Amino acid sequence: MEQNKKLVEVQNLKQYFPVAGSKFFEKKVVKAVDDVSFYLNKGETLGLVGESGCGKTTTGRTLLRLYEPTSGRIIYDGETIFDSGDVPLYNEDGTVQTDEKGNVKYGRKTAVNMLPYRRKMQIVFQDPYASLDPRMTVGDIVGEAIDIHHLAASKQDRRDRIIALLERVGLNSEHANRYPHEFSGGQRQRVGIARALAVNPEFIVCDEPISALDVSIQAQVVNMFEELQEKEGLTYLFIAHDLSVVKHISDRIGVMYLGRMVELADSYELTFHSVHPYTRSLISAIPIADPVTSRQSKRIVLEGDVPSPVNPPSGCHFRTRCPFADKLCEQEQPKWTEVGPGHYAACHHLDKVK
């Protein structure tokens, strides 16, 4: 398999939502995703963690163009599927492309028809109770995508495909005629996954797929994701707030805070050698299911709450809760810098944190 080949890449992705009730002349926006760049290699899992309201779900959805991005570029398998026209072109090594006169080159404004790409990029939603139409049978829910993309040659073929899909996620053929309410949460999530798999995608955004499930069921679903990936070489963007699950399933992890990416690294590196103060406190705040370790470990308890995304703090968004914050953090947004091989972070005081 081709390793290290970029399947999906987003550059300077921004997604702003207008705030209802703001005055006409000073339209307020929520910067749900603010200048986020990352890529996913083929067959890898990138985890995205952060607290509620940090923009991780929005990133996932914008990436699929379920929301039209405000600005940025999305590249899928070498093809630009969205370009707002105001993002500089980048070289392979991440530097900005320029012409002979030294002017920055920009991409051409692009917004392709997504239908062919929907076959390759799919999503599994968080809430298995809300994401399945209660009036459709499970067979029709899974079969809808087959119909839209004309994947089945005949009625019989459609039925066979649906049954094969259900079996792939651990359900059986008799389930096809039932309605969602007849299933438990874990089974519904399996239906959601079968629906995503119906078009044989290469890339799946998993938007908190296990948060609504019981502990004993979570492990079943996590294992299923892993097995599907091993068998079919799927690429996942795995979004969750539970860092221990994300660490388990991901190759690399990105941490978001108030719409910005603050740290991105290999999952081992991130859990044991994180450099950003937010990541560190996030990790230490997670209760460890091991009495001896958790008695010994010292928690870094952050003061205060996550600020409102409508009025984020100036400079570094994290500075209001950060123990290292100073004047510089207030004035300037920290740069996204490489601190180790494949390990990026945005903080002014990386040396102090160590």
Partner 1 sequence: MSEYLVNIQNERLSFFTPAGEVKALNDVSLHLKEGEVLGIVGESGSGKSVTAYSLMGLTAYPGRLIGGTLDFNGHRINDMTEKQMRKIRGNEVSIIFQDPMTSLNPVYTIGNQICEVILLHTNKNRAQAKERAKELLTLVGINEPEKRLKQYPHELSGGMRQRVMIAIALACEPKLLIADEPTTALDVTIQAQILELMMDLKEKLGMAIIMITHDLGVVASMCDRIAVMYAGKVVEYGSTDDIFYNPKHEYTRGLLRSIPKLNEKEHKKLVPIEGTPVDMLNPPKGCPFAPRCGSCMKICLREMPAYTDISDVHYSACWLLQKEEFEKGGNA
Spell out the residues 6+ positions from residue 44 whose beta carbon is closer than 8 angstroms to its own. Answer: 235, 236, 251, 252
Q: Of the candidates 30, 138, 197, 283, which one interacts with partner 1 according to CB under 8 A?
A: 283
Which listed range, 10-18, 36-44, 148-156, 243-251, lies at the site for partner 1 (CB under 8 A)?
243-251
Q: Is 219 in the site for partner 1 (CB under 8 A)?
A: yes
Kindly state the smallest distance separating residue 134's Cβ from partner 1, in Å.
19
Sequence letter at residue 250: S
Please identify which residue in 214, 326, 330, 338 interacts with partner 1, judged by CB under 8 A.
214
Binding status of residue 215 toward partner 1 by CB under 8 A: yes
Site for partner 1 in 178-197 (CB under 8 A): 184, 186-187
Torsion of CA 345, 346, 348, 350, to 10 degrees: -10
Stretch that binds partner 1, among 6-14, 92-100, 291-299, 345-353 (CB under 8 A): 291-299
Among 148, 288, 310, 328, binds partner 1 (CB under 8 A): 288
Q: CB of 211: closest distance to partner 1 in angstroms? A: 11
From the list 106, 241, 280, 339, which residue makes contact with partner 1 (rule: CB under 8 A)?
241
Determine, following the binding rule CB under 8 A, whether residue 293 of this chain makes contact with partner 1.
Answer: yes
Pairing assessment for the beta strands 203-207 and 235-239 based on DSSP bridges: parallel
Contacting range for partner 1; rule: CB under 8 A; set: 19-27, 33-41, 133-141, 277-285: 277-285
172 binds partner 1 per the rule CB under 8 A? no
Asked if 216 is part of the footprint of partner 1 (rule: CB under 8 A), the reply reads yes
Which of 29, 89, 112, 222 contacts partner 1 by CB under 8 A?
Answer: 222
Tell me the closest approach of the beta carbon of residue 50 to partner 1, in angstroms.
Answer: 9
Q: Which of 4, 52, 113, 172 binds partner 1 (CB under 8 A)?
A: 52
| Shortest CB 91 distance to partner 1, Å | 34
User: Are the CB atoms for 260 and 315 separated by under 8 Å?
Assistant: no
Report which of 209, 219, 224, 4 is spatially closest to residue 92, judged by C-alpha positions: 4
Tokens, residue 130:
């809300």
Q: Which residue, chain included where needed, has tokens 């290290």?
A: 4
Of these, 299, 327, 337, 352, which contacts partner 1 (CB under 8 A)? 299
The least CB distance from residue 131 to partner 1, in Å, is 19
Question: Which range in 61-69, 86-94, 136-144, 279-287 contacts partner 1 by CB under 8 A?
Answer: 279-287
- CB 241, min distance to partner 1, A: 7
Write out the residues near partner 1 by the rule CB under 8 A. 51-52, 184, 186-187, 214-220, 222-223, 226, 241, 243-245, 247-248, 268, 271-272, 281-295, 299, 301-302, 305-306
